C-alpha cells in the first residue's frame, strides 16, 4: 500500500515521534502486571489468555429443533465472562448447518462458518474422532470446544440451517424428531461470570475457514492474512490429492510472515507433514499438541489427510499482521485457523510499493556471482522477457514479498534456461520445488510527500543489493538467515524508484526467500 497525502504522512510521523519519545513507568507497569497475574488463571490450551481466578460458575443447557431456513440461539450470556467449554450434539450429520459466535456487540460475528468446519470435520466427511486440546469430537458426533471465549458485554452462539441432510440416528429413541426438515440439537455450555471490576483479557476468539477445490498447481495457498494484534492458537488442514506424480505433502512447509508494518520477522518449515509434527508422511495418530484424525493410505503414500496442530506452549504472536501460506498443488484443500485478536486493532500504514516487478533467476551460487552486474541493471523498463527470463509481478502484503512460490508456479517459463545454468553450474538448484543459489532483481516505486532523509527498512533473506533512483546505495551481506537492516537515504518528493537484487540460500530458515520493505522517516529514531 502506498501512502498518499501530505497531511496523513505528517500526522502519523508526529504521532510516532511523540510515542517513541515517551518514557514509560516501567516499575509501575511491573507492579500492575504482578497484581493482575496474582489473581488470574493462565489457560492451558492458550497460555496467552488469562482470566480472573474469582468467578461464579454458570451453565446453559437446552434441547432445540432446528428447521431449514431458521436460526436458533444455543447460548446467550451477559458479561463480563468467559465461555470455557461448550458441547453439542445433533442427529444431523452437520452438513448445511452454520455456526456463528458473536461477542461484545461486534458488527460481524468473530466466527461464521459451517458447523463441521469449526469442529475440524473437513472434506465433507462424516464426523470422525478429534482429540485436540481446543477441539474434541467424540464418538457419535459429540462436538466440544475448549478454546476459551472471553467477552466483556455479551456472547451469543447461534445455529442456522440451509438444509437438513444426512440424518444420524444411532439409537431409535422417541426424542429423535422424524421430521426430515428438522434436526434435534442438544447443547451445554459452561461459563464463568466475573465481577464488573475484574481484569479481562483484551483478546477475543476468531476462526477462519478457507478452501480451494482445487488449489493452484505449484501455487500458493493462503491460510491466513490477519491484521491487528493477536496470536495463532491452532489450525486444521486437509487435502485430497488430485494432482498425481508426487507425494501429497511435497508442497513445502508453512511460511509465516509476521509484523511487516512494525518489527518484521519470517520463518518457515520443511514439508507439510513436518509442520504438524509428523515425519515422512501422515499417520492416524494424535499426541498432546498435534494429530491426524483422518488419513487415506497412511505414511509416505498418503492421498488424503486431515491434520491439526495447536500451539499451546509455542503460540505465534503478532503485533500488526500475520500472513501464513503453504505451497499448493491442484489438490482439494481446506483449512481452519483459530486465533485470538484484540478487536479493532489495526496495523499502521507504511510506505511500500503496492507491487514489485521481478526479473530472474540469475546464478548466485557464490557472492562473486551474485555481485556481478547483469543486463537488468542498465535497462530502465524491463520487457516481459529479458532473454529467456520472465518478468513477474508480485503483490505486496503488509510490505512482504515471497518470490519462491511464484517461481515454482512459473517454472515452465524458464525450465530450459535453468537446465543450461545447472549444466554450467552444478551447485545451483533450480528445481520446481526449492530454488536456491539464485537471485532476482526487483523494481518498485514509493511515493513520499516531501524531500528529506529517510530509512529504507528491510527484513530479508538473504544477500541484498540496493539502488535508489538508479543510484547504487549499498549491499547487505549475511549468511545467518532472515535479518533486518535500515539504510539511510535521501528521497525526493513524489515517486522514487527502488531496485533490489535478492538472493536465496539454504541456511538457518531452510530456504526461506522473503523480503519485507518499507520507508520510514529518519526522525522516528527507530528504523527497525
DSSP string for 131-166: E-SSEEEEGGGEEEE-S-EEESSEEEEEEEES---S
Number of domains in the chain: 3
Q: What distances in angstroms separate CA 98 from CA 31, 112, 318, 493, one per listed residue?
A: 45, 7, 29, 52
- Is 208 part of a structural domain of the chain? yes
For residues 380 and 309, state if they share a domain.
no
d(CA 384, CA 362): 16
For residues 262 and 368, state if they share a domain.
no
**Nearest alpha carbon to residue 277 among 314, 241, 304:** 314
Q: Kindly tell me the burial class for residue 195, based on how many C-beta atoms sit within 10 Å of its own C-beta (0-12, 13-18, 19 or more).
A: exposed
Say if 122 falls within a structural domain: yes
Return the residue matching grid coordinates 531496485: 499
User: Rg of the chain over CA atoms, in angstroms?
Assistant: 26
Distance CA 410, CA 253 (A): 19
In a domain, 128, yes or no: yes
| Same domain? 367 vs 334 | no
Task: Indicate if 374 and 329 belong to the same structural domain.
Answer: no
Q: Are residues 189 and 247 in the same domain?
A: no
174 and 234 assigned to the same domain: no
- The pLDDT score that the predictor gives to residue 8 is 33
pLDDT at residue 347, rounded to an integer: 86
State whether 91 and 110 are in the same domain. yes
Find the helix or strand (DSSP H, E) in which 19 lies. helix 6-21
pLDDT > 80? residue 14? no
Cell matching residue 506: 539454504
pLDDT digits (tens, 9 = 90+) for 110-124: 999 999 999 999 999
For 321-346, b/e burial (b = at least 16 CB within 10 A) is bbbbbbbbbbbbbbbbbbbbbebeee
> What is the per-residue pLDDT for 38?
67
Q: Which of 187-196, 269-278, 519-528 has the lowest mean pLDDT?
A: 519-528
From residue 226, give the alpha-carbon distance in Å to each of 346, 347, 404. 9, 10, 21
Q: Name the grid cell of 384.
A: 516481459
Measure the CA–CA gap between 233 and 235, rounded to whole angstroms: 7
CA–CA dist 375, 416 (Å, integer): 19
Spatial separation of the C-alpha atoms in residues 19 and 285, rounded to whole Å: 50
* pLDDT score at 412: 44
Which of 157-171, 316-330, 366-380 is predicted with the least confidence, judged by mean pLDDT?
157-171
Distance CA 223, CA 229 (A): 18
Give tens-digit pLDDT for 46-82: 999 999 999 999 999 999 988 888 899 999 999 899 9
Query: CATH number for the domain including 413?
Result: 2.60.120
pLDDT band at 37 (very low <50, low <70, confident <90, very high): low
Q: Which of 287, 308, 341 is the last residue of a domain?
A: 341
**What percent of the chain clears pLDDT 90, i.e. is strictly above it?**
62
Q: How confident is the model at residue 400 (pLDDT cuts 50, 70, 90)?
A: very high
CATH of the domain at 160: 2.60.120.1390
User: Which tens digits make up the pLDDT trace of 192-232?
Assistant: 999 998 899 999 999 999 999 999 887 889 999 999 999 99
Q: Is residue 166 part of a domain?
A: yes
User: How far is 222 from 304, CA to CA, in rounded Å?
Assistant: 19
The answer to whether the bond into 59 is cis (omega within 30° of 0) is no
- The verdict on 371 and 464 lying in the same domain is yes
Backbone angle region of 460, left / alpha / beta, with phi > 0 → left and psi within -120 to 50 → alpha: beta
Which of 49, 47, 341 minimizes the C-alpha distance to 207?
Answer: 341
- Please indicate, yes or no, if residue 473 is contained in any of the structural domains: yes
Residue 151, domain member (yes or no)? yes
Please give the pLDDT value at position 218. Answer: 79
Q: pLDDT by residue (tens digit) across 307-317?
A: 999 999 999 99
Instruction: Give Cα separations from 328 to 57, 292, 298, 514 (angstroms).
Output: 46, 19, 20, 18
The answer on 95 and 175 residing in a single domain is yes
Mark whether 385 and 472 lie in a shared domain.
yes
442, pLDDT greater than 60: yes
- Counting Cβ atoms within 10 Å, is residue 107 exposed (0-12), middle (13-18) or buried (19+)? exposed
12 in any annotated domain: no
Mean pLDDT of 425-431: 50
H or E segment to which residue 386 belongs: strand 385-386
Residue positions counted in the chain: 528
Q: Name the residue range of residue 72's domain.
A: 50-193
276-282: long-range contacts (C-beta < 8 A, 24 or more apart)?
Answer: 276/237, 276/307, 276/308, 276/309, 277/309, 278/307, 281/247, 281/249, 282/248, 282/249, 282/307
Mention every residue, 6+ apart, whose C-beta is less than 8 A from residue 471.
none
Please identify, among 143, 162, 193, the residue that sits at the C-terminal boundary of a domain: 193
pLDDT attached to residue 166: 56
When mean pLDDT is compared across 22-31, 125-134, 290-299, the lowest value belongs to 22-31
Q: Is the pLDDT of residue 374 over 50?
A: yes
- Convert 21-81 into a string of H (helix), E (strand) and C (coil): HCCCCHHHHHHHHHHHHHCEEECCCCCCCEEECCCEEEEEEEEEEEEECCEEEEEEEECCE
State pLDDT tens for residues 270-302: 888 999 999 999 999 999 999 999 999 999 999
Provide the pLDDT for residue 434: 56
> Is pLDDT larger for residue 285 or for residue 481?
285
Could you give the residue ranges of the DSSP H alpha helices within 190-336?
A: 272-275
**Tens-digit pLDDT profile for residues 158-187:** 999 887 765 555 444 454 445 666 788 999
Average of per-residue pLDDT values in the chain: 85
- What's residue 141's pLDDT? 86
Q: Is 370 exposed, middle or buried (0-12, 13-18, 19+ CB in 10 A)?
A: buried
Domain-terminating residue out of 300, 315, 341: 341
Q: Are residues 212 and 326 in the same domain?
A: yes
pLDDT > 50? residue 31: no
pLDDT of residue 180: 63
- What are the DSSP calls for 435-475, one per residue? -BSEEEEEEEEEEESS-EEEEEEEEEES-EEEEETTEEEEE
In angstroms, the Cα distances linking 351 to 36, 52, 340, 491, 525 are 38, 41, 27, 12, 16
Assess whether pLDDT exceeds 80 at residue 359: yes
291 in the same domain as 168: no
Classify residue 42: in a domain, yes or no: no
Query: CA 44 to CA 50: how far, in whole Å?
Result: 10
- Is the pLDDT assigned to residue 502 strictly greater than 70? yes
Report the greatest alpha carbon distance in the chain. 82
Nearest to 130 by CA among 122, 119, 140: 119
Per-residue CA distances from 188 to 264, 494, 512 (Å):
42, 60, 45
Cell of 361: 533467476
Q: What is the pLDDT of residues 449-466, one digit of tens each?
A: 999 999 999 999 989 999
| Percent of the chain topping pLDDT 70 | 83
Contacts of residue 104, Cβ cutoff 8 Å, sequence gap at least 6: 79, 151, 152, 153, 154, 155, 204, 343
Q: Are 65 and 177 in contact (CB under 8 A)?
A: yes
Amino acid at each position: 500500500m502506498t501512502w498518499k497525502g501530505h497531511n496523513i504522512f505528517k500526522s502519523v510521523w508526529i504521532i510516532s515521534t511523540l510515542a517513541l519519545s515517551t518514557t514509560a513507568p516501567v516499575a509501575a507497569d511491573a507492579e500492575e502486571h504482578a497484581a493482575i497475574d496474582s489473581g488470574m488463571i493462565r489457560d492451558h490450551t492458550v497460555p496467552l489468555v488469562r482470566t480472573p481466578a474469582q468467578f461464579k460458575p454458570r451453565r446453559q443447557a437446552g434441547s432445540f429443533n432446528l428447521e431449514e431456513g431458521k436460526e436458533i440461539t444455543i447460548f446467550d450470556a451477559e458479561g463480563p465472562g468467559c465461555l470455557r467449554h461448550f458441547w453439542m450434539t445433533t442427529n444431523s450429520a452437520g452438513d448445511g448447518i452454520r455456526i456463528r459466535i458473536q461477542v461484545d456487540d461486534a458488527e460481524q460475528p468473530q466466527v461464521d462458518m459451517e458447523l463441521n468446519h469449526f469442529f475440524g470435520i473437513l472434506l465433507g466427511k462424516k464426523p470422525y474422532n478429534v482429540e485436540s486440546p481446543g477441539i474434541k469430537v467424540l464418538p457419535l458426533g459429540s462436538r466440544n470446544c475448549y478454546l476459551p471465549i472471553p467477552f466483556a458485554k455479551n456472547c451469543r452462539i447461534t445455529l442456522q440451517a440451509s438444509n437438513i441432510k444426512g440424518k444420524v440416528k444411532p439409537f431409535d429413541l422417541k426424542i429423535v424428531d422424524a421430521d426430515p426438515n428438522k434436526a434435534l440439537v442438544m447443547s451445554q455450555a459452561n461459563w464463568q461470570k466475573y465481577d464488573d471490576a475484574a481484569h479481562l483479557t483484551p483478546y477475543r476468539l476468531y476462526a477462519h475457514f478457507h478452501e480451494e477445490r482445487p488449489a493452484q498447481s505449484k501455487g500458493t495457498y493462503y491460510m491466513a492474512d490477519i491484521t491487528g494484534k493477536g496470536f495463532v492458537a491452532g489450525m486444521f488442514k486437509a487435502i485430497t490429492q488430485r494432482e498425481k506424480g508426487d507425494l501429497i505433502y511435497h508442497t513445502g512447509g508453512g511460511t509465516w510472515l509476521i509484523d511487516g508494518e512494525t518489527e518484521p520477522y519470517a520463518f518457515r518449515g520443511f514439508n507439510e507433514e513436518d509442520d504438524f509434527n509428523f515425519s515422512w508422511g501422515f499417520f492416524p495418530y494424535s499426541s498432546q499438541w498435534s494429530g491426524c484424525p483422518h488419513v487415506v493410505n497412511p505414511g509416505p503414500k498418503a492421498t488424503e489427510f486431515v491434520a491439526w496442530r495447536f500451539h499451546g506452549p509455542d503460540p505465534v504472536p503478532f503485533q500488526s499482521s500475520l500472513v501464513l501460506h503453504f505451497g499448493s498443488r491442484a489438490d482439494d484443500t481446506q483449512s481452519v485457523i483459530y486465533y485470538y485478536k484484540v478487536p479493532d486493532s489495526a496495523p499502521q500504514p507504511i510506505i511500500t510499493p503496492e507491487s514489485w516487478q521481478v526479473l530472474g533467476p540469475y546464478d548466485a551460487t557464490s557472492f562473486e556471482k551474485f555481485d556481478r552486474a547483469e543486463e537488468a541493471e542498465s535497462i530502465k523498463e524491463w520487457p516481459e522477457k529479458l532473454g529467456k527470463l520472465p518478468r513477474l509481478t508480485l503483490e505486496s502484503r503488509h510490505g512482504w514479498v515471497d518470490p519462491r512460490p511464484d517461481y515454482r508456479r512459473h517454472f515452465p517459463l524458464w525450465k530450459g534456461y535453468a537446465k543450461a545454468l545447472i549444466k554450467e553450474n552444478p551447485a545451483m538448484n533450480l528445481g520446481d520445488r526449492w530454488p536456491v543459489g539464485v537471485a532476482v532483481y526487483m523494481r518498485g516505486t514509493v511515493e513520499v510527500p516531501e524531500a528529506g532523509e529517510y530509512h529504507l527498512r528491510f527484513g530479508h533473506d538473504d544477500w541484498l543489493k540496493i539502488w535508489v533512483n538508479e543510484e547504487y546505495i549499498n549491499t547487505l551481506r549475511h549468511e545467518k538467515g532472515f535479518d533486518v537492516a535500515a539504510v539511510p537515504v535521501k528521497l525526493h518528493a513524489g515517486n522514487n524508484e527502488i531496485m533490489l537484487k535478492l538472493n536465496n540460500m539454504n541456511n538457518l530458515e531452510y530456504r526461506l526467500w522473503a523480503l519485507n520493505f518499507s520507508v520510514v522517516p529518519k526522525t522516528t529514531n527507530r528504523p527497525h
